[in-house]
């Protein structure tokens, strides 16, 4: 099913943000809401964080609901888009920030960890992208998430960059497949960003070293990444299509 733009003026623009309850996803949800979009905050299992994100948005005068769904489950993601359409009238923006990280040397990697990582990062991206391709209204945008480690190639990140490299490889393919629909497809690849996921299990020395790696000599913030997503999904960013944007302060 393809949804047209007939209801955009009546309902305003609407965004689904997967993994929208914490970290970068929360910052994206709040930024898009501040820019006037109604936001469907998707989460996997942290109901409390999702409610906190929605409360922060509504307290600031925005519109938001929280909807639980496993991004790798096609029935759940279909229901997620159904809920967005039923509540707000349609979907204009889909941001797939849900992801999983696992670090291990390739020789020591538990393959069950690899399977779980790829289920969320690769299959999840495909499932969300499928619904976005079928249901985004004219003038809409899909944004996926990769990582700048695809370029830096740090040891221990083999499984993670393999999953994110797959997302990068499909970005332009999907953009071309949506020819004639006026829908953009881009992927944001953050560098070191100060989220709980990034800071967990790192020493102060490791964090300081990573912060000094970019020429701007600091870690990114979730708001830095949210600003990039806001641009890509705005009318001002609509000429950017099929691209990988490395939002990393100048890393390779």
Active-site amino acid positions: 160
Which tokens is 82 given? 């159904």
Query: 3-class DSSP state for residue 104?
Result: coil
Which tokens is 178 given? 């949506």
Query: 3-class DSSP state for residue 239?
Result: coil
Alpha helices in 19-157 (DSSP H): 23-34, 47-59, 74-88, 111-118, 124-135, 149-152
Dihedral in degrees, nearest 10, Cα atoms 20, 26, 27, 33: 70
Tokens 């979730």 sit at which residue?
222
Find all residues with CB under 8 Å of 121, minimum gap 6, and list them: 99, 100, 160, 163, 164, 166, 167
């Amino acid at each position: 099913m393809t949804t047209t733009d007939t209801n955009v003026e009546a309902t305003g623009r609407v965004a689904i943000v997967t993994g929208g309850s914490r970290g970068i996803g929360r910052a994206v949800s709040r930024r898009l809401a501040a820019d006037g979009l109604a936001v469907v905050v998707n989460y996997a299992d942290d109901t409390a964080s999702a409610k906190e994100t929605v409360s922060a948005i509504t307290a600031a005068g925005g519109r938001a609901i929280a909807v639980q769904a496993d991004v790798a489950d096609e029935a759940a993601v279909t229901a997620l888009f159904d809920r967005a359409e039923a509540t707000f009238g349609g979907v204009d923006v889909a941001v797939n920030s849900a992801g999983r990280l696992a670090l291990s040397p390739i020789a020591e990697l538990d393959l069950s960890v690899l399977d779980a990582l790829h289920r969320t990062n690769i299959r999840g991206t495909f499932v969300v992208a499928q619904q976005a391709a079928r249901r985004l209204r004219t003038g809409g945008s899909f944004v996926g998430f990769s990582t700048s480690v695809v370029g830096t190639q740090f040891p221990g990140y083999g499984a993670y960059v393999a999953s994110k490299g797959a997302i990068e490889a499909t970005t332009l393919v999907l953009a071309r497949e949506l020819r004639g629909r006026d829908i953009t497809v881009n992927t944001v690849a953050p560098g070191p960003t100060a989220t709980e996921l990034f800071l967990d299990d790192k020493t102060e020395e490791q964090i300081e070293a990573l912060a000094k790696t970019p020429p701007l000599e600091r870690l990114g913030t979730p708001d830095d990444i949210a600003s990039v997503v806001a641009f890509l999904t705005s009318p001002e960013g609509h000429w950017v299509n099929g691209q990988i944007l490395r939002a990393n302060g100048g890393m390779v």
